[in-house]
Structure 1
């Protein structure tokens, strides 16, 4: 019998190891995102199909480890590439060669250039609204 709470912890460990969110994990194994959410929250128990989809998408996950906590994870010792790029410790100075912007004296928000306001409507959560018109 699978202990759902322990299974959830191991599933969370898989998500952290691969550096994926629950929704990305669901997309990768081909299940609805709500399925992952319900299993992680303890609302639902994992089905056999769910477990098999994990094993198919992630061959480094061992069946007995996932179900019972026996064995090792990951099966291979090397951590996979997560697609994250390591940034250098120092960044190039992007603004050293640029001069400050010159003031042209032109105003950007000239009056009269905007359309005239006709009305303002406030919508409330209870489904009502209040309308204000220019007089």
Structure 2
């Protein structure tokens, strides 16, 4: 029995989700990180480069509302929910957080359903053999 690991999204995918959620172009995103051209970010998004520590640090400095745990490991919400001014999030960002959490829940439900179906099939096969 082989289960897909749909919950472990690659960091490149999270960076793309972030760019989409911020509603900026790849070039705008790269420039906010101090890059003059977007090539480095494009290469990261297409899997040709792995993001280095300094790039991840630049993202978190340029966008202090981003949850570092989410960016690095995919844990928690995309945007921080704190009272500090640097981490204040807008209603729109809260809605994106909720959409992302719903997406995660749907992915988990689909994975659980798939696992359940596979286990039922195995049980039925064992019943027929025994």
Q: Does 1:13 align with 2:17?
A: yes
Give the root-mean-square deviation of aligned CA atoms. Answer: 1.9
Whole-Å separation in 2 of the counterparts to 1:30 and 1:60: 18
Query: Per-residue displacement from partner, 1:97-124 (whole Å, max 9, x unpaired)?
Result: xxxxxxxxxxxxxxxxxxxxxxxxxxxx
Instruction: Tell me the number of residue pairs that the alignment of Structure 1 and Structure 2 aligns.
Output: 77
Whole-Å separation in 2 of the counterparts to 1:70 and 1:56: 19
Q: Does 1:70 align with 2:75?
A: yes
Query: Per-residue displacement from partner, 1:61-102 (whole Å, max 9, x unpaired)?
Result: 11111011012111135326xxxxxxxxxxxxxxxxxxxxxx
Residue segments in structure 2 that go unaligned for 5+ positions in a row: 1-8, 82-88, 94-130
Moved segments of 4+, more than 4 Å? none
C-alpha deviation, 1:50, in angstroms: 0.1
More helix by share: 2
Whole-Å separation in 2 of the counterparts to 1:9 and 1:37: 12
**1:51-66 counterparts in 2 under 5 A?**
51-66=56-71
Match of 1:50 among 49, 55, 76: 55
More strand by share: 1
TM-score normalized by structure 2?
Answer: 0.54
In the other structure, the counterpart of 2:31 is: 27
Question: Greater relative contact order (Cα 8 A, min sep 6): structure 1 or 2?
Answer: 2
**1:50-129 counterparts in 2 under 5 A?**
50-76=55-81, 78=90, 79=92
The SS at the match of 2:24 is coil
C-alpha deviation, 1:11, in angstroms: 0.5
**Higher gyration radius (CA):** 1
C-alpha deviation, 1:47, in angstroms: 0.4
